[in-house]
Amino acid sequence: MKALILVGGYGTRLRPLTLSKPKPMVEFANKAMVVRQIEELKKSGVSIIILAVNYRSNVMEKFLKDYEKLLDVKIIVSEENESLGTAGPLALARDILQSDDEPFFVLNSDVVCNFPFDKLLQFHKSHGKEGTILVTKVPNPSAYGVIVSKSNGEIIQFVEKPSVYVSNRINAGIYIFETSILKRIELKPTSIEKEVFPFMAHDKELYCMDLDGFWMDIGQPKDYLTGLALYLDHLQKTASKELSEGPNIIDPVLIDPSAIIGQDCIIGPHVAIGANVLIENGVRISRSCILDGSTIKSYAWIHSSIIGWKSSVGKWCRVNNISVLGEDVTINDEFYINGAKILPHKTISEDIHEPKIIM
């Protein structure tokens, strides 16, 4: 089987992290987003992965070279000269996708869930139509475009931000299609949601399957941290061996084995600490991500924030409110950072009391 991952463009919503790496290479729970998806696809029998890329494709290709061997999959980078939206990349990869008559998966690169690819394939084959959308339920459907379907999953219509309740199911950004869908798509910028799906639904060729469990689009810092909490809760429920334990750890927490944790620290809940991180004595971290090579100095307090690669947070600092430090940021001792987005290679020597971008 094959899968196409919509890697996308500049990752502007996740800046300043994406100023250093393409978004799919940014670690989520100590593993690059795209690697986590490839691993899950491989488990479901996918052997050819196509990455639809229109930004820094050479960096992505070089990064994934080792994973191609490690996971025993073929990874093909399909480079766009212009952004082709969410459907155009299928037309660009047409020759690869239709080389046999097997259905293929399509997914957005910034979606995290329990990835029920096997179940989705089984459901897709059971109805025998052209496409299946994975859907997830949301508490406030008026903020989304929702999907209305019959009890058997056949999609009737799409309703954009309904003012009255018609459904609470939204597109989860994971699909499976027959190769016949490629006849519907031209090689030009095209939205699969607006320019392809409505016609498939009209032809009674599009179904949906409910996702059991958590889901999040982690393409911006607030949702990244929410997704991290949901994912770690999921690992805890499944009694995953990945999770870390210890006297000063409040579950669930994920700590790379190479990280060093000092005395009298309190870590958790919902924290991921990457490789070669140094946490000095008396540090308190909750609902946050500390990326590879960073140092958190003694008695610092970090909540609901992302600390970028090789950054340093000084002694007695307080960092909170969805602050995001880019790569190689230094915060000197005893400063307060509230909701700041700090670009790479900056040194901070003052309090930041209100959310803003530090360039």
Q: Which residues are catalytic?
A: 161
| Contact between 6 and 14 (Cβ < 8 Å) | no
Q: Give me the long-range contacts of 76-81 (CB less than 8 A, separation at least 24).
A: 76/48, 76/49, 76/50, 76/51, 77/50, 77/51, 77/53, 78/4, 78/50, 78/51, 78/52, 78/53, 79/53, 79/54, 80/52, 80/53, 80/54, 81/54
In single-letter form, the type of residue at position 239 comes to A
| Contact between 73 and 3 (Cβ < 8 Å) | no
Tokens of 88: 């155009």
In the numeric block, the tokens 């994934």 are attached to 64
How far is the C-alpha of 8 from the C-alpha of 94, rounded, in Å?
Answer: 18
- DSSP alpha helix (H) spans, 238-285: none
HSE-CB of 232 using CA atoms within 13 angstroms? 27
Tokens of 140: 């406030």
| Contact between 191 and 86 (Cβ < 8 Å) | yes
In this structure, the strands spanning 215-217 and 111-113 are antiparallel
How far is the C-alpha of 38 from the C-alpha of 312, rounded, in Å?
Answer: 32
Tokens of 277: 């991180």
Burial group, residue 143, by CB count within 10 angstroms (0-12, 13-18, 19+): exposed
Whether the link from the prior residue into 22 is cis, omega within 30° of 0, is no
Dihedrals phi, psi of 111, to nearest 5 degrees = -100, 135
